Chains A and B, each alone.
Chain A
Amino acid sequence: MTEGTLEFDGTTKRYGDLLALDDLSFDVRPGEIFGFVGSNGAGKTTAMRIALGVLSADAGQVRWRGAPVTLEAARRIGYMPEERGLYPKMAVAEQLEYLARLHGMSRADARTATAEWTERLGLAERRRSEVGALSLGNQQRVQLAAALLHGPELLVLDEPFSGLDPVAVDVMSGVLTERAAAGVPVLFSSHQLDLVQRLCHRVGIIRSGRLVACDTVDALRSTRRQLAVDVRAPWTPALPGVEIVSTEGTRHVLELAADVDDQDVLRSALAAGPVAEFRPFRPTLTELFRTVVTDREDAR
Chain B
Amino acid sequence: MNVVWLIASRELRTRLRARSFVVGTLGLLAAIGGYLALSAWLANSSGPVVGLSGSAAELRPAIVAVAESLDEDLEVRIVDDAGAGREQVRDGDLDALLTGSASAPTAVVDEELDDTVRGILTAVLQQRALGAELERAGADPDAVRRAVADAGVRVDALNRADPLEGERLVLAGVAMTLLYVALITYGTGVAQGVVEEKTSRVVELLLATVRPWQLLLGKILGIGLVGLVQLVILGGVGLIGASLAGQLTLPAAGIGTFVALLGWYLLGFFLFASLFAAAGALVARFEDMQSVISPLIMLLAIVFVVGLNLLLRDPRSEIVEVLSLIPPFTTILMPARGALGVAPAWQIALAVGLTLIALAIVVRLAGVVYERGVLHTGSRMSLRAALRGRSRSTTE
Task: List chain A positions with a Cβ less than 8 A from chain B.
Answer: 15-16, 20, 40-46, 49, 52-55, 71, 74-75, 77, 79, 81, 83-90, 98-99, 101-103, 146
Which residues of the partner chain A approach B391 to less than 8 Å between Cβ atoms?
15
Q: List 20 additional A-B contacts (Cβ < 8 Å) besides A15-B391, A44-B396, A77-B208.
A: A15-B392, A16-B392, A41-B396, A45-B396, A49-B204, A53-B208, A54-B207, A54-B208, A54-B375, A55-B375, A71-B210, A79-B208, A83-B201, A83-B204, A85-B201, A87-B197, A88-B200, A102-B209, A103-B209, A146-B205
Complex CA distance for A181 and B377, rounded to whole angstroms: 37
Q: What are the 4 closest A-B residue pairs judged by CB atoms, nearest first?
A: A85-B201, A85-B202, A83-B201, A81-B204
A85-B205 CB under 8 A given contacts A71-B211, A90-B14, A98-B10:
yes
What interface size band does chain B fall in? 20 to 34
Complex CA distance for A168 and B124, rounded to whole angstroms: 97
Asked if B206 lies at the interface with its beta carbon under 8 angstroms from chain A, I say yes
Beta-carbon contacts under 8 Å, B203-220 to A: 203-211
Proximity string of chain B (44-87) to chain A, C-beta cutoff 8 Å, 1 when within and 0 when not: 00000000000000000000000000000000000000000000
Asked if B388 lies at the interface with its beta carbon under 8 angstroms from chain A, I say no
Report 12 cross-chain contacts, Cβ distance below 8 Å, ordered by A residue.
A16-B392, A41-B396, A45-B395, A46-B396, A54-B207, A71-B210, A71-B211, A81-B201, A85-B205, A87-B202, A90-B14, A99-B205
A85-B396 CB under 8 A given contacts A54-B208, A102-B3:
no
Which among A20, A55, A84 is the interface contact of B201 at CB below 8 angstroms? A84
Which residues of the partner chain B approach A83 to less than 8 Å between Cβ atoms?
201, 204, 377
Asked if B6 lies at the interface with its beta carbon under 8 angstroms from chain A, I say yes
Proximity string of chain B (182-203) to chain A, C-beta cutoff 8 Å, 1 when within and 0 when not: 0000000000000011001111
Which residues of the partner chain B approach A53 to less than 8 Å between Cβ atoms?
208
Which residues of the partner chain B approach A74 to less than 8 Å between Cβ atoms?
208-209
Asked if B249 lies at the interface with its beta carbon under 8 angstroms from chain A, I say no
Q: Are A71 and B209 in contact (CB under 8 A)?
A: yes
Which residues of the partner chain A approach B316 to less than 8 Å between Cβ atoms?
none
A86-B202 CB under 8 A given contacts A20-B396, A43-B396, A102-B3:
yes
B48 smallest CB distance to A (angstroms) = 58
Asked if B106 lies at the interface with its beta carbon under 8 angstroms from chain A, I say no
Task: List chain B positions with a Cβ less than 8 A from chain A.
Answer: 1, 3, 6-7, 10, 14, 196-197, 200-211, 375, 377, 390-396
A220 smallest CB distance to B (angstroms) = 23
Complex CA distance for A241 and B208, rounded to whole angstroms: 52
Which residues of the partner chain B approach A102 to less than 8 Å between Cβ atoms?
3, 6-7, 206, 209-210
Give the A-B pair count, Cβ closer than 8 A. Answer: 72
Look across to chain A and name the residue whose beta carbon is closest to the beta carbon of B207. A54
A21 smallest CB distance to B (angstroms) = 10
A43 smallest CB distance to B (angstroms) = 6
A73 smallest CB distance to B (angstroms) = 11
Complex CA distance for A101 and B200, rounded to whole angstroms: 20
Which residues of the partner chain B approach A54 to less than 8 Å between Cβ atoms?
204, 207-208, 375
Which residues of the partner chain A approach B394 to less than 8 Å between Cβ atoms?
15
Q: Are B209 and A85 in contact (CB under 8 A)?
A: no
Q: In this complex, which of B6, B10, B375 has the most chain A Cβ atoms within 10 angstroms of its Cβ?
A: B10
Look across to chain B and name the residue whose beta carbon is closest to the beta carbon of A150. B209
Q: Are A85 and B3 in contact (CB under 8 A)?
A: no
Which residues of the partner chain A approach B395 to less than 8 Å between Cβ atoms?
45-46
Which among A15, A20, A79 is the interface contact of B205 at CB below 8 angstroms? A79
Complex CA distance for A77 and B207, rounded to whole angstroms: 12
Which residues of the partner chain A approach B202 to less than 8 Å between Cβ atoms?
85-87
Q: Are A85 and B204 in contact (CB under 8 A)?
A: yes
B214 smallest CB distance to A (angstroms) = 9
Which among B200, B207, B375 is the interface contact of A86 at CB below 8 angstroms? B200
Which residues of the partner chain A approach B209 to less than 8 Å between Cβ atoms?
71, 74-75, 99, 102-103
